[in-house]
Amino acid sequence: MTDVPDKTELGLMPRLIATGWFAVAACIPVFCFMVIFGQTAIFMGGFLFFFGVVPISLAAFFGFSVGVKILDPVSSTSKLWAAARGVAVAVLSHLVFMTLFLLQFEMSEPAPAFGLAFMVVICGLVITLLPVAFVGGLAGWWLCNLSLRRDLWEKLLNLPRVSTTTANIWTLAVGLLVLLNSIAGIYLFRSVR
């Protein structure tokens, strides 16, 4: 397959590879967070689900939708560009997670002052954003290195591509699943507080 039709996207297999790759990469900061902040609460299901499963599923979603471009053999991918895309995956998933945290904080009974919740989120961003971005950049760079191996490159080049509409429908479906997962995480976390 040397000629690639215009307005096509990568198929499902590269998307699943990127999904798994960024989900595994997200396990590193999640594990560090659990070790540092969750010594006693780690065994509570809601805490583990909200601070473990939700950020990993968000990273998987953004790997599916944003990080997959690293594996596209048609576009020229430099290692620096791939690292930047990995940082984008990590930062997007982290910002959405912090938004969900702020949302569940505001839904608490009784609701704390918005300023307090906002300060918790800002402190969380300052403390955790740089390590999360570093891991995301490293994951993007490493995924690019693996995709440039000749055997994998040939396989990626010969995989079927799909229309942009199909890729957008897949992204929407995965996004809805992650949204349901996040809502479940918010309610589980609220139940243990």
pLDDT for 75: 77
Residue 9 forms beta bridges with which residues? 162
pLDDT for 124: 76
Report how far residue 52's alpha carbon sits from residue 29's, in angstroms, rounded to the nearest whole number: 10
Give the pTM.
Answer: 0.86
Angle between helices 114-147 and 12-37 (to 10 degrees): 130
pLDDT for 154: 79
pLDDT for 178: 94
Report how far residue 81's alpha carbon sits from residue 89's, in angstroms, rounded to the nearest whole number: 12
pLDDT for 90: 96
Radius of gyration of the chain (CA): 18
Domain ranges of the chain: 9-192
pLDDT tens string, the chain, 193 residues long: the values are: 456 566 788 888 999 999 999 999 999 998 888 887 766 555 677 778 888 899 999 999 999 999 999 988 877 678 999 999 999 999 999 999 988 888 887 776 666 666 676 777 787 777 888 899 999 999 999 999 988 887 877 787 788 889 989 999 999 999 999 999 998 888 888 776 6
Q: Is 78 helix (H, G, I), strand (E, B) or coil?
A: coil
Within 13 A of 58's CA, how many CA atoms are on the CB side? 28
Report how far residue 94's alpha carbon sits from residue 57's, in angstroms, rounded to the nearest whole number: 11
